[in-house]
Structure 1
Amino acid sequence: MADTPYFQKHVFFCMNQREDGRPCCAERGAQAAQEHTKKRIKQLDLNGPGKIRINKAACLDRCDEGPVLVVYPQGTWYTYVDQSDIDEIIEVDLVGGGIVERLKV
């Protein structure tokens, strides 16, 4: 068994859809954000083993702060409003290894 993780970074987008009227990530553009991120990471040739994996997740239990995504292994939680926020997370965190402080939750 290798000591290195299978993915350098693993990103989970909450895709939760609530039926009871409470806020949920699905209503706030989570699908489009996840698809954009996955496409962009592929364009940058950063997808695959040893690189970055972009995934959908069921409820991450933070919809009130959402929409949310989490980046592992560091466990950084982000919220976002639009594609420019997602692009900043990609550039600063996923590519650059930094943290986008203004989007942390």
Structure 2
Amino acid sequence: MDNTPYFEQHVFICMNQREDGRPCCGDRGAQAAQKHAKKRLKALDLNGQGKIRINQSGCLDRCEEGPVLVIYPQGTWYTYIDTDDIDDIIDTHLIGGEIVERLKI
């Protein structure tokens, strides 16, 4: 059996929407960030099998630190403000293999 992972890296972007007034990623630009990341990886031909997958996720349980995303298999957690931060995560972490310290949580 081939032990090669289907995706080299898997990014989960929390899209959770809360009804109770608590902070949530869905209210902090998560949808725009996820769409931007998917579009950018596709333009760079970095999406698909053996490459990188961008996924929406439900609550990742770090609401107060949000918006958040996590990258596996490394298990690195990030917060972000805008698409410039998403680009920094793509360029520095996903492509360059380095941690974006200013965004790491």
Q: TM-score, normalised by structure 2?
A: 0.98
Aligned partner of residue 101 in structure 1, secondary structure: coil
Letter of the 2:56 counterpart: K
What do the CA deviations read for 1:23-69 (whole angstroms, capped 9, x no partner)? Answer: 00000000000000000000000001000000000111111100000
Instruction: Supply the AA of the counterpart residue of 1:89.
Output: I
Give matches, 1:12-27, under 5 Å: 12-27=12-27
Match of 1:90 in 2: 90
What is the aligned-residue RMSD (CA, Å)?
A: 0.6
Give distance in 2, aligned partners of 1:14 and 1:36: 14
Where do 4+ consecutive residues of structure 1 move more than 3 Å?
Answer: none
1:46 aligns with 2:67: no
Question: Residue 4 of structure 1 aligns with which residue?
Answer: 4
Q: Partner residue of 1:71?
A: 71
User: Any unmatched runs of 5+ in structure 1?
Assistant: none
CA deviation digits over 1:58-89, x for unaligned, max 9?
11111110000000000000000011111100
Counterpart mapping for 1:51-62 below 5 A: 51-62=51-62
Q: Distance in 1 between matches of 2:50 and 2:86?
A: 22
**2-structure distance, mates of 1:9, 1:60:** 18
